[in-house]
């Protein structure tokens, strides 16, 4: 049996090797930018788990991680427009240098909401990092400090990204062609 079934997977946009190469480069950038501080990577569950795990290994210096979980899409492939915090941070971020780590920016709504949520807690700084940015009619309305790849307007799966919780374990990023 092929996994995913042929009906669900279209073009592979980014191979596992390309992802790893880019993550290493992002890790170098963050290492350089955070030479004088211990950054706190805040991974946005669940989509950013693989990216956060690989990114922290690509940082050559002290780094801490925490996670937040939000829900905005339900099981559909279109945004509901509502962001809900399902799991908040374990520890306060006051005085910390925070890097928000997201899987993909579409409308930018999720990242904008989380940025405001964290900024209200008095961190020393908050930077934003997203593995993917989907290019579309409307440019993402959020400032991004680190970006992995820009992708065409298609719904994608793999490397943490899901459709109805499936396909997060694929090592590459491919276009979802199911229904």
* Identified catalytic residue from 8, 54, 103, 106: 106
Closest of 144, 79, 94 to residue 124, by C-alpha: 94
Under the binding rule (CB under 5 A), the answer on residue 47 touching Mg ion is yes
Closest of 80, 63, 65 to residue 27, by C-alpha: 63
Under the binding rule (CB under 5 A), the answer on residue 43 touching Mg ion is no
Q: Is 60 helix (H, G, I), strand (E, B) or coil?
A: coil
Question: Which residue is it, tokens 């492939």?
Answer: 77
DSSP H/E element including 83: none
Under the binding rule (CB under 5 A), the answer on residue 160 touching Mg ion is no
CB nearer to ligand IMP: give 126 or 156: 156
Q: Is 106 noted as a catalytic residue in this protein? A: yes
Among 47, 123, 148, 174, binds ligand IMP (CB under 6 A): 47
Interaction with ligand IMP in 141-160: which residues (CB under 6 A)?
A: 155-156
Closest of 128, 108, 109, 130 to residue 119, by C-alpha: 128
Under the binding rule (CB under 6 A), the answer on residue 79 touching ligand IMP is yes
- Active-site residue numbers? 106
């Amino acid at each position: 049996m092929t996994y995913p079934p042929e009906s669900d997977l279209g073009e592979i946009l980014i191979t596992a090797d390309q992802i790893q190469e880019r993550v290493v480069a992002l890790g170098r950038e963050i290492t350089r930018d955070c030479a004088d501080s211990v950054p706190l990577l805040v991974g946005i569950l669940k989509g950013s788990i693989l990216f956060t795990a690989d990114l922290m290994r690509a940082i050559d210096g002290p780094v801490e991680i925490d996670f937040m979980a939000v829900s905005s899409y339900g099981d559909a492939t279109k945004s509901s427009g509502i962001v809900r915090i399902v799991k908040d941070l374990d520890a306060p971020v006051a005085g910390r240098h925070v890097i928000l780590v997201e899987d993909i920016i579409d409308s930018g709504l999720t990242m904008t909401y989380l940025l405001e949520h964290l900024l209200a807690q008095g961190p020393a700084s908050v930077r934003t990092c997203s593995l993917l940015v989907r290019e579309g009619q409307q440019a993402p309305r959020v400032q991004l400090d680190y970006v992995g790849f820009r992708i065409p307007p298609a719904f994608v799966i793999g490397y943490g990204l899901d459709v109805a919780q499936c396909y997060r374990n694929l090592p590459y990023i491919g276009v979802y062609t199911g229904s």
